[in-house]
Amino acid sequence: MIARVWQARTSGPETTERYRQVFEAEVLANLRGIDGFHGAYLLARQDRGSAHIRTLTLFESIDAIKRFAGDDHEREHVTSAARATLLDSDPAIRHFDVLTAFPQA
């Protein structure tokens, strides 16, 4: 299994909540239809007037990731609605092999 990790910042709790709504309505809706998608987490941490957010999505393979993100799977893909909630984001996506998971996905 592969974890796909992306990070961004919002201006605080209200924009984080707006990002969460977009994430659930747009991203998760799309991910649920991808063969090989195994789950997602949206994480947030408040820090001095802004919020750091991370998405962690789980896929069975790079091929499954490419079904979601296309051939340019190591770059962020952010919708205009999501972009409107962000202060900034890291354009690079990090992929990690999942060595241990509990409970198993």
Number of Cα atoms under 13 Å in the Cβ half of residue 94: 10
d(CA 99, CA 80): 34
Contacts of 74 (CB under 8 A, 6+ apart): 92, 93, 95
Is it the case that residue 73 has pLDDT exceeding 80? yes
Q: Are strands 2-10 and 37-47 parallel, antiparallel or unpaired?
A: unpaired
3-state secondary structure of 90: coil
- pLDDT one-digit tens code per residue, 5-41: 999 999 999 999 999 999 999 999 999 999 999 999 9
Task: Look up the pTM and report it.
Answer: 0.91
